[in-house]
Amino acid sequence: MDADDALTSERYNYPHFDDYIAAGGELADEARFRESFRIGTHATTFPLHRLNDGERIDLAALWTSKPLVMEFGSFT
């Protein structure tokens, strides 16, 4: 198990943004982004929950027949 596998909900859902920055959290995220699925390769499918009805959706079901645009975000 690498350090990322051991990421807890407390670390991922940090309560204080300045502590996250002081610990270099955003630099680690940028590095993880670069190393994650490369252009021209196939991404792994993952299960997600649809907010409106709670149904479990697999990413693979969304990119079966047409391109999929996936934006990530929160309030800010």
Judged by the rule CB under 8 A, the positions of this chain that interact with another protein are 4, 7-9, 12-18, 21-22, 28-30, 32-34, 36-46, 48-52, 57, 59-60, 62-76
- Long-range CB pairs of 14-20, under 8 A, 24+ apart, other chains included: none
Query: Shortest Cβ distance from residue 1 to another protein (Å)?
Result: 13
CB of 27 to another protein, least distance (A): 9
> Among residues 1 and 74, whose Cβ is nearest to another protein?
74
Phi and psi at residue 56, to the nearest 5°:
-80, 130
> 68, 62 in Cβ contact below 8 A?
yes
Closest separation in Å from C-beta 56 to another protein: 10
Tokens of residue 62, six digits: 């969304």
